[in-house]
Amino acid sequence: MKKLAAALALAFLSQPAFAGEAPKWSLAIHGGAGTLDPDKMTPEKRSQYEAALQAALDAGSKILSEGGAAMDAIKAAIIIMEDSPLFNAGKGAVFTWDGTNELDASIMDGRDRSAGAVAGVKTVKNPILLADTVRTQSEHVFLMGAGAEAFAVEKGFAVTPPDYFATPARAEALERLKEEKVSALDVDHKFGTVGAVALDTKGNLAAGTSTGGMTGKRWGRVGDAPLIGAGTYADNRACAVSATGWGEYFIRVGVAHEICSRLRMGRESEQGIADGVMADVKSLGGDGGVILVTPLGGAFFSFNTTGMYRGRATSDGINEVAIFGGEEKASATPDH
């Protein structure tokens, strides 16, 4: 009986709205988490990040507020961040040890749990779109490297020159890593992965994540961002999650799926579950953060670092971006 009651409750909660209420929508985004230092964040740099986050948030929110699909909203938000040199995805991706930019991305639809992912691509401007094409136009979930690029060409993607992704700041970070012979984690200990999660007015959830990985990564290293269940997961019965952080630990915990699984059991609050899973990551030695939305329209963050570039907007009127801990309201309407 308890299992039946839980199943009925989940089915009820998955409906777009209670009878007589307007359907809800919500969106959360992130642009990476890490050991961000408020004293080193100049007003100009802060304004740039807030403006970029707000632009991504606005793009996704417009689609959702007009009745559009969660999948379209997260792609719109992520594309803006992939096109910005501020984030470690697309245009601003970090360099590998060999001086190349290798891009990873994944996307998932909560309606049917269809998913697509790519890893190690070097010639695709917006990896999130290629991941979605894998989801919708192939029988596969995950493609990598040259094979993923060949698939992209076959599906009509333009070949983007590798130098498009290179930026001076990322090149300097790689040189500093090599000169000082330090690990990738010691060079600007920030994880610039970008991601978005959304609930649309039809009650559907979606999640997506895109990254350039870690500065100085070697041997074809792949983190959690393109792995369904680790960096990305969406299930209309529970939640949509996108993660950013030290990927090896997020993979070991299965962060995104773990959060959704615990939510389906319904024994804790959404915030409590997210915080609990991030505490598990920390106990193993990892750090980073997550964003999630739920079938009831809640948009949540949890991170165990000093900061996480983030934003959220809902049909209830919330519209805010933030960088450091506990400042959502302080930067709800950034001056940019």
Alpha-carbon distance of 298 to 310, in angstroms, equals 15
Which pLDDT band holds residue 327 (cuts at 50, 70, 90)?
A: low
pLDDT tops 50 at residue 12: no
Burial of 309 by CB count in 10 Å (0-12 exposed, 13-18 middle, 19+ buried)?
A: buried
CA 36 to chain centre: 18
Query: 7: closest CA among 233, 241, 256, 265?
Result: 265
On whether the CB atoms of residues 253 and 129 are closer than 8 A, the answer is no
Q: How confident is the model at residue 136 (pLDDT cuts 50, 70, 90)?
A: very high
What whole-number distance in Å separates Cα of residue 205 and Cα of residue 123? 29
Give the pLDDT confidence score for residue 210 in this predicted structure: 98
pLDDT of residue 191: 56
Classify strands 142-144 and 239-245 as parallel, antiparallel or unpaired: unpaired
DSSP letter assigned to residue 79: H
pLDDT over 90 for what percent of the chain? 74
| pLDDT at 132 exceeding the cut of 50 | yes
At residue 179 the predicted structure's pLDDT band, cuts being 50, 70 and 90, is: confident
Q: Is 193 a catalytic residue?
A: yes
Residue 20's pLDDT is 58
pLDDT of res. 331: 34
Say how far residue 186 (Cα) sits from the centre of its chain: 22
Q: Which two tokens stand for residue 242?
A: 């996108």
**pTM here?**
0.88
CB of 290 within 8 A of CB of 303?
yes
Stretch 58-63: mean pLDDT: 98
Span 245-283, pLDDT tens digits: 999 999 999 999 999 999 999 879 999 999 999 999 999
Select from 170, 310, 318 the least CA-distant residue to 242.
Answer: 310
Burial class of 208 by CB neighbour count within 10 A (0 to 12, 13 to 18, 19+): buried
- How does residue 40 score in pLDDT terms, banded at 50, 70 and 90? confident
Average pLDDT, the chain: 88
What is the C-alpha to C-alpha distance for residues 167 and 162, in angstroms, rounded to an integer? Answer: 11
| Radius of gyration of the CA atoms of the chain, in A | 19
List, for residues 61-98, the tens digit of each pLDDT value.
Answer: 999 999 999 999 999 999 999 999 999 999 999 989 88
Q: Check pLDDT > 80 for residue 242.
A: yes
Torsional sign, CA 25, 66, 124, 86: negative
**Tokens 């193993």 label which residue?**
284
User: 120-129, 160-169, 179-188, 230-239: which range is least confident on average?
Assistant: 179-188
- The pLDDT, as a whole number, for residue 166 is 87
The predicted structure's pLDDT at residue 187:
45
pLDDT band at 186 (very low <50, low <70, confident <90, very high): very low
User: Is the per-residue pLDDT at 177 higher than 90?
Assistant: no
Q: Is a pLDDT exceeding 70 seen at residue 189?
A: no
Residue 3 pLDDT > 50, yes or no?
A: no
The distance in angstroms from the start CA to the end CA of the chain is 55
When pLDDT is averaged across residues 161-186 and rounded to a whole number, the result is 76
With a cut of 60, say whether residue 188 has pLDDT above it. Answer: no
Tokens linked to 154? 């076959």
Strand, coil or helix: what is 306? coil
Catalytic residue among 123, 193, 209, 215: 193
